[in-house]
Amino acid sequence: MRKPFIGGNWKMNTDSKSAVELAKGVAEKCASYLSKVDVAVCPPFVYLPAAKAALGNSAVGLGAQDVYFEAKGAFTGEVSCGMLKDVGCKYVIIGHSERRHVIKETDALINKKLTAAIDAGLLPIFCVGELLEERNAGKTEAVVTEQIQKGMAGISAEKAKTVVIAYEPVWAIGTGVNASPEQAQDVHFMIRQLIAKMYNKDLADNMVIQYGGSAKPDNAAVLMAKPDIDGLLVGGASLKADDFAAMIKAAAEAK
Ligand code: PEP
Number of H helices, E strands in the chain: 12, 8
Q: Check if 101 is active-site.
A: no
CA of 74 to the centre of ligand 1 (A): 32
pLDDT digits (tens, 9 = 90+) for 103-114: 999 999 999 999
Nearest CA to ligand 1 atom 4: 235
Helix/strand/coil percent split, the chain, to 5: 50, 15, 35
Go through the domains of the chain in sequence order and give each one's CATH number.
1-63 (no CATH), 66-217 (3.20.20.70)
Q: Are 42 and 235 in contact (CB under 8 A)?
A: no
CA of 179 to the centre of ligand 1 (A): 12
Nearest to 120 by CA among 165, 154, 70: 70
Which residue of the set 98, 105, 130, 168 is catalytic?
Answer: 168
The total of other beta-carbon atoms located within 10 Å of residue 77's CB is: 5
Q: Which residues line ligand 1 (CB under 6 A)?
A: 9, 11, 168, 173-174, 212-215, 233-237
Model confidence at 182, pLDDT cuts 50, 70, 90, reads very high
| Tally of CA atoms within 13 A in the half-sphere of 63 that contains its CB | 28
Q: Check if 134 is active-site.
A: no
pLDDT higher than 90, residue 1: no
Q: What is the pTM of this model?
A: 0.98
pLDDT higher than 90, residue 139: yes
